Structure 1
């Protein structure tokens, strides 16, 4: 490890920790946090803005897309990719290297998580349509290199969760896609998109599995906030747009058609009984997690993206530019 961030509410204690580490190892204090592992931090009294602008521009430069035409959304609507259509790439290494870089970009960019999840499923044998889809994503990144997450300083410290699934979305295996997003106040702090490991015969089953996965993440985050001394209001609203899944969570009696998801039922019901979560019905039009399980055209994509809290610039564009400029100067110093 050669990079570390020290934070806390007690400046004296933080300084003592840095002094102790410096007495044991050769370290260098670079001052207030501005750049860490490819992530730019722009501070203000109103909050903290996180983006990966320089990392995104590096990806575009390495791929030869710095002068390309930008796109408004990351993936063509209703595009179905499989491992049997198109010509197999003679050299898969550029595709694999590109997807590997894009995976790290999802740390701050939840708007591209669904696309990167699909592209990563073809790294064993990429074809030309897969590369074309990856290039379309680069067109989208060309128009949005500075977009990231804004963490509000005065936001309420309570969790809100959304979960959703796309039933049998994989054309090759007919497995479903699960997605969830969890907010701390108005800022997204945890999100995930993953293809389920088994084939489900009902949409209620896949929706309930998404609810169970989100419940496990909520449990972990609640423990983390408790360890940090943050009092979060309970129960945590868990928004789901499937009425059948909500009925299963509320019904204490197992029926024959729910025996195959018994473990998920116990996970969710136990947390409901403990008062940790409160499953809540939400309209499909307000389900922000759709962005993690489906591809949309421009109007729907921009609408869901705005609800996620993704912004094109932080509290001050000039602050962000100074942070990036400062990092570039530091890199030049090390190169010299």
Structure 2
């Protein structure tokens, strides 16, 4: 249910519009044995109201209307540029309209589509190329690409790479950004599919690319987290410190993925959805897995001691369980480096992304 509201400072329910977007769990008076819950997502004066009990949803809506005078827009289909389509199999999340507007504003609707986001051999640097005469155009473009990754994991790595040069963008950076646009031309309606029959078992994939940044020699962390068959969280991010070995870089990525898993488990608990089974974490580096399982710290692992404590604590609490996966099956690979077309599209197909407009577009 989508609700458009207006706020009134005299109301006891008033939330200042300058506050950050927040997920608020509403708990109206319920029977002690009831398993009902209501979730309310608020952004300024736009509200999404959902739950597992329609009677309680209607009650909360009446309470909000009595205080704010809200407008019920019926079932949710669009929220902050995110489009939602329902089928008997599940829900599709996309930003098709946003992607098409991005291509149109940049003048790339008529361009030939590219098969990948980046040249696999390209390594961007802050000193290569000529400074742009109007860097604001580059910053605006990258900002819009970053928002597109809300529902699309495929541009995440390319966007992470390009966002490093916001302070002093060069022509070579803009060319790489335009390459991303030509890729989006091939699939503006790509959607993230959330299955209705998916279970609550979590599995995740984490990886790192050691010293991949040629300017700072920092490594890149990437991970993908699934609940059942549905991808719900992903990240491509440069690590905050330089790693002295590939094992250290891999272990930092392992710690980042572990923290994300723990946060998602807390979130499931907030929704009264108990996560009973161990969270499976697939990793392709035996050294990092062995460090996690080793109860003794060695001299060469002291510089990652906090990460060791964190991961070992989650292992001993039986929250997570590590499993080795071959590099060819490592889904997080697409979040840490540019890939060749065959490898890239093979991983994309395993993320649960679909194009519900493919038939209409002739795809």
The separation in 1 between residues aligned to 2:84 and 2:233, in whole angstroms, is: 18
Residue among 29, 41, 52 paired with 2:72: 29
Structure 1 position 156, deviation (Å): 1.3
Matched residue, 1:330: none
Matched residue, 1:281: 324
The separation in 1 between residues aligned to 2:46 and 2:359, in whole angstroms, is: 26
The separation in 2 between residues aligned to 1:217 and 1:312, in whole angstroms, is: 28
TM-score by length of structure 1 reads 0.92
Question: What secondary structure sits across from 2:217 in the alignment?
Answer: coil
The separation in 1 between residues aligned to 2:86 and 2:355, in whole angstroms, is: 15
The separation in 1 between residues aligned to 2:201 and 2:356, in whole angstroms, is: 25
Q: How does 1:131-146 map to 2 (within 5 A)?
A: 131-146=174-189
Question: What secondary structure sits across from 1:5 in the alignment?
Answer: strand
Matched residue, 1:211: 254
Instruction: Tell me whether 1:43 sits opposite 2:86 in the alignment.
Output: yes
Question: What secondary structure sits across from 1:55 in the alignment?
Answer: helix
The separation in 1 between residues aligned to 2:199 and 2:107, in whole angstroms, is: 43
Structure 1 position 305, deviation (Å): 0.7
The separation in 1 between residues aligned to 2:356 and 2:276, in whole angstroms, is: 30
Between the two structures, name the one with larger relative contact order (CA 8 Å, sep ≥ 6): 1
The separation in 2 between residues aligned to 1:219 and 1:236, in whole angstroms, is: 9
Matched residue, 2:355: 312
RMSD: 1.4
Structure 1, unmatched stretches of 5+, are 321-336
Matched residue, 1:326: none
Question: What secondary structure sits across from 1:280 in the alignment?
Answer: strand
Instruction: Tell me whether 1:53 sits opposite 2:53 in the alignment.
Output: no
Higher relative strand content = 2
Q: How does 1:56-205 map to 2 (within 5 A)?
A: 56-205=99-248
Instruction: Tell me whether 1:220 sits opposite 2:251 in the alignment.
Output: no
Structure 1 position 317, deviation (Å): 6.7
Q: How does 1:247-326 map to 2 (within 5 A)?
A: 247-313=290-356
The separation in 1 between residues aligned to 2:107 and 2:280, in whole angstroms, is: 44
Matched residue, 2:60: 17
Count, aligned residues = 318
Which moves more between the two structures, 16-25 or 130-139? 16-25
Matched residue, 1:324: none
Q: 1:317 to 1:14 in 2, by over 3 A?
A: farther
Structure 2, unmatched stretches of 5+, are 1-43
